[in-house]
Amino acid sequence: MAAQSPILVTGATGNVGRHVVRRLSDEGRAVRALTRDPAKADLPAGVEAVQGDLADPGSLGPALEGVDTAFLVWPSVQADAAAAETVQAMAAGVERIAYLSTMGIDPERSEREGGILGSHAMLERLIKESGMSWTFVRAGGFAANLRDWIPRIRETGVIRMAYPDLARPLIHEADIAEVAVRALTESGHAGAAYEITGPAGITQAEQARIIGEELGVPVRVEAMTDDEAVRELTESGLPEEMARQILEAHARMVAHPEPATDTLERVTGAPPRTFRQWAADRVAAERAVAERVAGERAVAPGRDTRTRG
């Protein structure tokens, strides 16, 4: 029997890519994970970790060798200058690609206007022009973008936000991965642009309360101005222009709520996970990591863990 060609997963250590790697591995697929630092990737047994950076097309040769199927997560707007060359390098051997895009793209306008939507629109156009068979997984708001709320709520019980009444049907990253895996491994998805969300809109204030309940901590929500919110986002590492675009989008969503779609259930046959499920999963994962680290420290070399009488 001929060896199975590996499926390349980019963004393999990120929120969605990690789930894609795990799902493919669980199905017995050969998986090659692209990562900047294979030594720190912490991937499932049997997954091949290969060093490379999408923003540096010249680094991708080893990752692309022998690959005909790929999952693409573009790193950031800052890498857009390399997009055309990177897609061209992938298209030299890749026949099928699933690209993690975003909802809200207008093919006629978004690329011209720039920003986050423009970046995704550009990548979609480049992929369409490349000759690869493509599927676009256009996800709505990621529940994972609230991961920083967990330590804040645990430590202070307070969350500050610009729009407490903003309701969004946030999606669990595992559900995004479910759609991507089907696009990578099943027939019938070529040329599809799947717009996927969580099951129902929940306000940001309610999201904070649910996280608090999973932590066992009461939560107080405090409103802040747009300028304060922009400052907080830029301090977390986002460019100011991108931070302002996010806040402007949130303001629009208050007036025109983002609709929930039924696409995920139609594609996978299963209903989307709830926000409470995401919160429970994330809290449990963080506790597991904390327990593992504590255990490793307890048996670190040079420490005598024997009981003394």
Task: With respect to residue 212, please indicate whether it lies within any of the assigned structural domains.
Answer: yes
**What residues make up the domain containing 98?**
1-139
Whose CA is closest to 20, among 82, 86, 69, 62? 69
Does one domain contain both 7 and 75? yes
* CATH number reported for the structural domain that contains residue 36 in this entry: 3.40.50.720
Task: With respect to residue 127, please indicate whether it lies within any of the assigned structural domains.
Answer: yes
pLDDT over 70 (residue 227):
yes
Task: With respect to residue 180, please indicate whether it lies within any of the assigned structural domains.
Answer: no
Q: Which residue has the tokens 């430590």?
A: 155
Average pLDDT over residues 155-172: 95
Does one domain contain both 67 and 149? no
Whose CA is closest to 242, among 146, 118, 129, 97? 118
Beta strands (DSSP E) in the chain are 7-9, 31-35, 48-51, 69-72, 96-102, 133-139, 158-161, 167-168, 193-196, 202-203, 220-223
Does one domain contain both 283 and 151? yes
pLDDT over 90 (residue 236):
no
Number of domains forming the structure of the chain: 2
Share of the chain above pLDDT 90, in %: 78
Rounded Cα gap, residues 65 and 61, in angstroms: 6
Does one domain contain both 33 and 79? yes
Task: With respect to residue 185, please indicate whether it lies within any of the assigned structural domains.
Answer: no
Task: With respect to residue 13, please indicate whether it lies within any of the assigned structural domains.
Answer: yes
3-state secondary structure 275-286: HHHHHHHHHHHH
Rounded Cα gap, residues 48 and 30, in angstroms: 8
Three-state DSSP class for residue 301: coil
Does one domain contain both 281 and 156? yes
pLDDT of residue 246: 87
Average pLDDT over residues 36-55: 94
CB 139 within 8 A of CB 100: yes
pLDDT level of residue 1 (50, 70, 90 thresholds)? very low
Task: With respect to residue 302, please indicate whether it lies within any of the assigned structural domains.
Answer: no
pLDDT, tens digit (0-9, with 9 covering 90-100), for 272-286: 999 999 999 999 999
pLDDT, tens digit (0-9, with 9 covering 90-100), for 72-83: 999 988 899 999
pLDDT level of residue 301 (50, 70, 90 thresholds)? low
Task: With respect to residue 297, please indicate whether it lies within any of the assigned structural domains.
Answer: no
Is the CA virtual torsion 80, 138, 97, 19 positive or negative? positive
CB 18 within 8 A of CB 71: no
Does one domain contain both 89 and 209? no
Does one domain contain both 9 and 116? yes
Does one domain contain both 152 and 129? no
Share of the chain above pLDDT 70, in %: 96
Rg, Å, the chain Cα set: 21
Would you say how long the chain is, in residues? 309
pLDDT, tens digit (0-9, with 9 covering 90-100), for 97-149: 999 999 989 878 998 888 889 999 999 999 999 999 999 999 999 999 999 99
pLDDT over 70 (residue 34):
yes
Rounded Cα gap, residues 222 and 183, in angstroms: 41
Tally Cβ neighbours within 10 Å of residue 257: 14
DSSP state of 52: -
pLDDT of residue 305: 44
CB 276 within 8 A of CB 214: yes
pLDDT of residue 245: 85
pLDDT, tens digit (0-9, with 9 covering 90-100), for 169-180: 999 999 999 999
pLDDT over 60 (residue 306):
no
pTM of the model: 0.90
DSSP state of 171: B
Which helix or strand (DSSP H or E) is residue 288 part of? helix 275-298
